[in-house]
Amino acid sequence: MIKINGTTIEMTRGDTLKTYLTLTDAEGNDYVPGQNDRIRFAMKKTYNDAEPLIIKEISTEDLLLVLNPEDTKPLPAPASYVYDIELTYSNGDVDTFIDKAKLKLTEEVY
């Protein structure tokens, strides 16, 4: 089970999440990442945790975020986590375009 409502993701531990991102500039126009831009997803239990539990690089070609079963399988559930997604431009500037977002992990039966 996967549900996405705004920036809140609810999914069953061990499932596969595949979702496309949409990037826009300040004027609301579609933004196409440059060849040397990078996009990163990071998830923690709380914002104060020193290290992320999951870090995923997102392809700038297709903007597809994928969480594989092995990414969430070892995590406690049910539980809520926090995540953000940032774009690092080729010049080194960073834009955290999704922040303070939640991922709710539910238990699986098997």
Q: Give the DSSP letter string of the chain.
A: -EEEETTEEEEETT--EEEE---B-TTS-B-PPPTT-EEEEEEESSTT-SS-SEEEEE-TTT-EEEE-HHHHTTS-SSEEEEEEEEEE-TTS-EEEEEEEEEEEEEP---
* pLDDT exceeds cutoff 80 at 38: yes
- In this predicted model, what pLDDT tens digit does every residue of 40-87 receive, in sequence order? 999 999 999 999 999 999 999 999 999 999 999 999 999 999 999 999
- Give the CATH number of the domain where residue 36 resides: 2.60.40.10
Q: Are 44 and 70 in contact (CB under 8 A)?
A: no
Residue 20: the pLDDT is 96
* pLDDT exceeds cutoff 80 at 110: no
The whole-model pTM stands at 0.93
Per the structure, the complete domain to which residue 25 belongs is given by 2-106
* Count of structural domains within the chain: 1
Residue 25: the pLDDT is 85
Q: Residue with structure tokens 């406690």?
A: 76
Q: Are 65 and 21 in contact (CB under 8 A)?
A: yes
Residue 15: the pLDDT is 97
